[in-house]
């Protein structure tokens, strides 16, 4: 069984032992773990001489509402990650060459997109991470064509969620068309020329009818969502099926204590109430017509009964499946990282 990286999203986990081996005053040797744990400073040093291709204005446009990120965070955390991912992409290309040598010319394999999954709670900042990776990875000459999708487009339409009694479970694994989502990523990974995905609008809180996002053979595809690391469910015949994460070449889990995420969630709700919710088309416009106290009571209830439950029951348990865990502190900055060993 794979050991999860230290500290759970519920804030009650324990770090890995750090004692040295036998013969050093009786301290126990560190327990084996499938991860290399790094401090922020240790990770930052791994960017080597990778140049920073983004400006402060670009970072400002990429960050999500309520997220706190600046050039220092990009330089310390996301530049090393872009370098690591570039090395992974190049290594995958080398493996493909080895496979082609083995198969021979008649069965030579054409390159397929490198797929990255980004998972984490509502309001933890995973969308900002995905957007930053998209911008940074597209600046590397080896893979200039980078596409990004969110799994929101694969939520069942509101009408169907209501019919299934799932409106109060929106964001839970069962509220997604998981078969369509997995098929989409499988088709991209297979190298199909064009693959389309539904488009979701946070304004209307639903899919946009007759609108599609078309992906055309990117070098890299980033798939961002709450449940992208969920294992496949057994079929009705009891047989194990291929899951979405089986198509990932690399995955990132954005982690934080649940109480910190709740604070960020409420702050984001306040800001949305002052901005996007003011739009007459907004599904949540009614929360601009009541007092702030009443609106925040609603947001707290939604966090406690929906988002926190989903985090603890479904999202956080997938953390141990990630290639890399980014662990944030209360200030939204990444403090520690856990990278899976090969």
Cite the annotated binding site for ATP by residue number.
120-127
Region of 125 please: left (phi>0), alpha (psi -120 to 50) or beta: left
335 CB burial (10 A radius; 0-12, 13-18, 19+): middle
Residue found under tokens 């560190």 = 30
Annotated binding site: 120-127
Residue found under tokens 């999708």 = 149
Q: Give phi and psi for 145, each to the nearest 5.
A: -100, 100
Within 10 angstroms of residue 102's Cβ, the number of other Cβ atoms is 8
Residue found under tokens 């989502």 = 181
Gap between the Cα atoms of 138 and 244, Å rounded: 24
Pairing state between β 334-340 and 35-39? antiparallel
Gap between the Cα atoms of 156 and 96, Å rounded: 36
Residue 135 in contact with residue 240, Cβ under 8 Å? no
Cα 250 to its chain centre, rounded Å, is 11
* DSSP 3-state percent helix, strand, coil across the chain (nearest 5): 45, 15, 40
Gap between the Cα atoms of 298 and 284, Å rounded: 11
Residue 211 in contact with residue 200, Cβ under 8 Å? no
Gap between the Cα atoms of 278 and 283, Å rounded: 10
CB proximity list for 222: less than 8 A, separation 6 or greater: 115, 116, 117, 118, 130, 133, 134, 146, 147, 148, 149
């Amino acid at each position: 069984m794979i050991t999860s990286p230290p500290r759970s999203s519920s804030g009650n986990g324990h770090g890995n032992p750090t004692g040295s081996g036998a013969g050093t005053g009786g301290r126990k040797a560190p327990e084996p773990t499938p991860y290399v744990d790094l401090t922020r400073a240790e990770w930052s040093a791994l960017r080597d001489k990778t140049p920073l291709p983004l400006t402060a204005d670009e970072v400002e446009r990429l960050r999500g509402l309520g997220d706190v990120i600046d050039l220092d965070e990009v330089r310390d955390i996301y530049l090393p990650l872009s370098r690591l991912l570039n090395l992974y992409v190049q290594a995958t290309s080398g493996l493909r060459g080895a496979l082609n040598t083995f198969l021979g010319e008649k069965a030579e394999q054409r390159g397929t997109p490198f797929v990255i999954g980004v998972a984490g709670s509502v309001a933890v900042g995973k969308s900002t991470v995905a957007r930053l990776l998209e911008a940074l990875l597209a600046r590397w000459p080896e893979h200039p064509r980078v596409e990004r999708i969110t799994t929101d487009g694969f939520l069942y339409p509101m009408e169907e969620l209501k019919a299934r009694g799932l409106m109060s479970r929106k964001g839970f694994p069962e509220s997604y068309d998981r078969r369509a989502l997995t098929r989409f990523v499988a088709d991209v990974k297979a190298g199909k020329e064009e693959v389309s995905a539904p488009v979701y609008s946070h304004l209307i809180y639903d899919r946009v009818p007759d609108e599609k996002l078309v992906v055309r053979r990117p070098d890299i595809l980033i798939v961002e969502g709450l449940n992208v690391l969920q294992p496949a469910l057994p079929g009705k015949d009891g047989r194990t099926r291929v899951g979405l994460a089986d198509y990932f070449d690399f995955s990132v889990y954005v982690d934080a204590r649940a109480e910190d995420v709740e604070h960020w969630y409420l702050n984001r709700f306040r800001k949305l109430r002052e901005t996007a919710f003011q739009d007459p088309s907004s599904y949540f416009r009614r929360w601009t017509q009541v007092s702030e106290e009443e609106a925040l009571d609603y947001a707290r209830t939604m966090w406690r009964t929906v988002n926190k439950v989903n985090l603890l029951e479904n999202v956080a348990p997938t953390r141990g499946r990630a290639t890399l865990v980014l662990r944030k502190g209360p200030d939204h900055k990444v403090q520690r990282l856990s990278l899976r060993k090969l």
